[in-house]
Amino acid sequence: MKKTGKHKPHIVFLFSDTGGGHRSASEAIIEAINLDFPEEFTYEMVDFFKEYSPPPLNLAGPVYPLMSRMEYMWEFTFKASDNPDFMRVLFSAFWPYIRFGMYKMLREHPGDIYVSVHPLINIPFLRAMRRREITTPYFIVVTDLVSTHTAWFAKEADLISIPTEQARKPALYAGIDPEKMKVIGLPVADRFCKPPGDKKGLRKKLGWSQEKTIILLVGGGEGMGPLGTVSKEINQAKLDVGLVVITGRNRKLKEELEAMDWNIPTHIYGFVTDMPDLMRAADILVTKAGPGTISEALIANLPIILYHRIPGQEEGNVSYVIDEGAGIWAPNIEDIINTLEDWLNNPEKRMLAVENAKRLARPDASRQIVQTIAEMVRLNK
């Protein structure tokens, strides 16, 4: 995505498509730029792995989903590398190999501010900037909720936006000056942040039951985790609920579920573009611990049952939701069914989780980030 023009401050977003979160964070911020400063900035998004990294690093995007599915290896890599000294040594070792790409990127994408939404670009790009004596403001927007890898926290950055109070701790551990951190929230698309609509009207439009408690089942953009098994078990448990399953890009699962006979009113969707409406029309979310889905659900005031998480990277998301009382960790099918039964029989418990979700929601994050960008650009003029 690129919007260019003359004489306007230019914002360069540094991202890569390793998972969906970095792109959607950039797009949410760009959306907020167009809402709050429609004519004041130009911007572009640069995928540094794809466009400026030597092989095989340029394949990081397509390889990422395969790697993150090898959970034990992923967990080991995440935890073993989550150390500031280790990362510095690692990037120094890689520097001769990646530096030409970094310098080229710097040359080809001059800007008035760099906004990084990816952990792995910060140390090498800031090194390239330092060596070329470029002092453009550098703003890091962290897009993991709590288990934030140390690579996010480059001391040379001018400012770091942190999504939760809990994520301050790893930033401090990495030696970041508290003055350089701002707890803002995870940038979420504006359509999630509108005031809640009329649930009845939404359900009518979607053709969902008005009477039943509606359970929304989501497995991230890829329909990952035991989504099929969970939906079948909820069906078997014959709870007095309606079920909505979003299979995302997992077409095989969609076909399989569509061919089933259901004991309860069930709606199956593939990849949806109206997630905000579906969240607002539902009563309970059952999902994997993706930061995007969790942040969106909090804004929609949905109580959350988490059944799966990527080891390392998403572990903190689980403790965040549970410790703050917005949901339950239910890694086994029985835990999910028991929690659903408990919430159906004791609505006050579910309502407590709703209240906690409401308290944690940060619907203004994208717009606050844009205000911060505008301020940083203004101060640097």
Q: How far is the CB of 53 from ligand UDP (least distance, A)?
A: 21
Helix ranges restricted to H, 37-121: 48-52, 60-69, 71-81, 84-108
Binding flag, residue 221, ligand UDP (CB under 6 A)? yes
CA dist 300 and 202 (Å) reads 13
| Interface positions, 94-123, toward ligand UDP (CB under 6 A) | none
Residue 187 makes contact with ligand UDP by CB under 6 A: no
Using the contact rule CB under 6 A, the part of the chain among 133-141, 155-163, 260-268, 287-295 near ligand UDP is: 287-295
C-beta closer to ligand UDP: residue 98 or 246 = 246
Candidates 11, 12, 16, 21: give the one binding ligand UDP (CB under 6 A). Answer: 21
How far is 341 from 358, CA to CA, in rounded Å?
22
Q: How far is CA 253 from the centre of its chain?
A: 23
**Structure-token pair, residue 94:** 């890689």
Nearest to 147 by CA among 191, 216, 82: 82
User: Between 154 and 246, whose beta carbon lies closer to ligand UDP?
Assistant: 246
Q: How far is the CB of 65 from ligand UDP (least distance, A)?
A: 9
The alpha carbon of 135 is separated from its chain's Cα centroid by a whole number of angstroms, namely: 29
Under rule CB under 6 A, residue 225 binds ligand UDP: no
Q: Does 19 bind ligand UDP (CB under 6 A)?
A: yes
Helix axes 227-236, 333-345, angle to 10 degrees: 50
Q: In the complex, what is the shortest distance from the CB of residue 190 to ligand UDP, in angstroms, rounded to a whole number?
A: 13
What is the smallest separation between the CB atom of 269 and ligand UDP, expressed in angstroms?
7
- Residue 95's CB is within 10 A of a number of other CB atoms, namely 15
The piece of 147-155, 289-297, 321-329, 335-343 that touches ligand UDP (CB under 6 A) is: 289-297
Member of 296, 307, 356, 377 binding ligand UDP (CB under 6 A): 296
**How many CB atoms lie under 10 A from the CB of residue 112?**
18
- For ligand UDP, the closer of residues 77 and 380 by Cβ is 77
Neighbours of 167 (CB within 10 A): 24
Based on the shown chain and the rule CB under 6 A, indicate whether residue 293 belongs to the binding site for ligand UDP. yes
Distances (CA, A) of 98 to 55, 57, 123, 234: 10, 9, 12, 49
* Near ligand UDP by CB under 6 A: residue from 242, 292, 316, 363: 292
Q: Which is nearer to ligand UDP, 42 or 68 (CB)?
A: 68
Question: What's the order of all strands across the beta sheet hosting 113-116?
Answer: 2-3, 42-47, 10-15, 113-116, 138-141, 159-162, 181-183
As a whole number of Å, the end-to-end CA separation of the chain is 25
Residue 206 is a binding residue for ligand UDP (CB under 6 A): no
| Rounded-to-integer distance, Cα 294 and Cα 309, Å | 12
Binding ligand UDP (rule: CB under 6 A), the pick from 8, 17, 20, 103 is 20
State the number of binding residues for ligand UDP (CB under 6 A). 18
- The residue of the chain with the least Cβ separation from ligand UDP equals 290
27 near ligand UDP (CB under 6 A)? no
- Cα–Cα distance, 213 to 124 (Å, whole number): 50
- If one asks whether residue 220 binds ligand UDP (CB under 6 A), the answer comes out as yes
Contact string 232-251 vs ligand UDP (x = CB under 6 A): --------------x-x---
The answer to whether the CB of 268 falls within 8 A of the CB of 247 is yes
Residue in the structure block whose two tokens are 């209240």: 355
Side chain identity at residue 314, one-letter code = E
**362/298 Cα distance (integer angstroms):** 8
Looking at the Cβ atoms of 105 and 321, the one nearer to ligand UDP is: 321
Show the CA angle centred on residue 126, arms to residues 187 and 22, nearest 5°.
Answer: 25
Tell me the C-alpha distance between 29 and 194, whole Å: 15
Minimal distance in Å, beta carbon 179 to ligand UDP? 29
316 is an interface residue for ligand UDP by CB under 6 A: no
Token readout for 220 is: 């991230």
| Cβ closest to ligand UDP, residue 111 vs residue 248 | 248
CB of residue 20 to ligand UDP, shortest distance in Å: 4
Q: Does 290 help bind ligand UDP (rule: CB under 6 A)?
A: yes
Binding site for ligand UDP (CB under 6 A): 19-21, 24, 218, 220-222, 246, 248, 271-272, 275, 290-293, 296
